[in-house]
Structure 1
Amino acid sequence: MKKKIFVLDTNVLMHDPSCLYRFEEHDIYIPMVVLEELDNGKKGTSETSRNVRQVARILDGLMHGKDHAQIEKGIPLPTTVNKGTNGNGNGHTGGTPTAPSSGRLFFQTRPSAAALPEMLPGNKPDNNILLAALGLQSQHPSRTITLVSKDINLRIKAAIVGVHTEDYHNDQVLDDLDLLYSGYAKLPDDFWTTHGEKMDSWQDDRGRACYKVSGPKVKEWHVNEFLYLPDEVERGLELTVQALDGDSAKLHVIRDYRAGKTPVWGIHAKNREQNFALNLLLDPDVDFVSLLG
């Protein structure tokens, strides 16, 4: 199987500086305009700026001691131990570089011989990246040229002009994000019928409505998990699991930060998930909150 050539968009390097080590035996190509965009984004204290500076250090280390002829031939890239996957299942790698690889890093060292279609005029960075990918297709007709970008609009334009594209997902630890614990669960429509027969209710010292319920669903719950009944069933009732004791659970109704007079420093939650997050973040009994979005 011939080695592929992956053309990296600026946003991929900004998103994951270690992406240079994640393409196994395949070659990586960085257009000159990408280096220019990285240079423009290196200043500041944001995470993106820090990532850009990290990319610069990695590239500087890879190029150390290399002359122009060696750069033209491609810089050998180290590979890594643990393997991940991109959006289309290709076996890229992730982790810390550990061993030599047959993959090489190439930079654009001369203008592209290809031409953009008339419908993509001008000197826009995205179009220059497309031009570089088209030039590689002409230069290496027997190899697969893939533009890797997190910019959906660039991927659309690339598909229109005949350049194969992929999103970048190699930084995800799990192949299937649906396997992650969501932190909330939808209650069945007959929840009160199946769990409310021996229910106790009261108000705690914070004025929250609390319930102690038992039933078949309790064994599936976790402390601090959110539970909800859909709007059409009971006005969007939302609860959190306060404590578990065998087949019974203590629940309390959470605050609604989506509207009315309950903003957090002037901010309202836009949806159910954001409301769950705000309730956790503002709960003094919860010491650590992990959010994925």
Structure 2
Amino acid sequence: QVANVGDELLFSGQVEITDEMWEAPGIDIKIDREDSQEFGTLITYHITAPWVRNWSINTHIYSDSSSNQTFRGQLRQVVDQTATIELLPDFESQYHCWGIQAKNKEQNFALAALTDPEIDFVTIAGEAGTGKTLLTLAAALHQVYEDKFYDEIIVTRATVPMGEDIGFLPGEEEDKIGPWMGAITDALETLSANPNGTDFERKSSVEFLKSRVKIKSSGFMRGRSFSDKIFIIDEAQNLTSAQMHGLISRAGPGTKVIAIGNLKQIDTPYLSASTSGFSFAMDR
């Protein structure tokens, strides 16, 4: 029950504009259009309404209203009662990121936040199998190889076993942390898949992607600083608030931090959904 309550109390990152909100008295809407090289015409809504006051910057705003145009947007600014909402690129049907398209509005929101150079800290929470790691790596690879916004990708996670611990692992740091990073390896194999390629080409493609992905243990992060990197914190629900704060503060100039987790998959007995460092980060 505690886990469920903690999960429900966290902000979902999205707000719906319902028919009732659209039809409330005193609503004013202005629309600006601007040409964009990557995503065609950039459309911005300026909505003046009393219900925009408490919205948080970068919240995803959506409307599936029957009487108004369906849209997916991102809140860029709130001044008094006027909200500036930028229409998001349609990753569900029109655009893709490293060959990946969104299957619903939540994945569309995730890809938009992950590929937005203006947002340098993103938290992604979701059930098992909802594509958190895959979408994050697709966006990271796109920005490292295609856009060249960042130099490389650094991935870390708390080394907390799901069940019984199998003991010490041999090798250097990357060898020891390797077995914990199966989800990252699986996602890289999916993203490098070429159904028409030979076995050699597939293996070469995976190795090519891995060359820009560095796997690090969270236990050795104290005092480090990353510049111009994408820093991915996987399985963030197993971190304490102090550990999460310590990892986020590793970000130097030009670094984007992405924390991924699922509060229903906490593997350590010392944390709950309300005390997890992932909840701490999302709440703030």
- Pick the TM interval, shorter chain: 0.3 to 0.5
User: Whose radius of gyration is greater, 1 or 2?
Assistant: 1
What is the TM-score with the length of structure 2 in the denominator? 0.39
Larger relative contact order (CA 8 Å, sep ≥ 6): 2
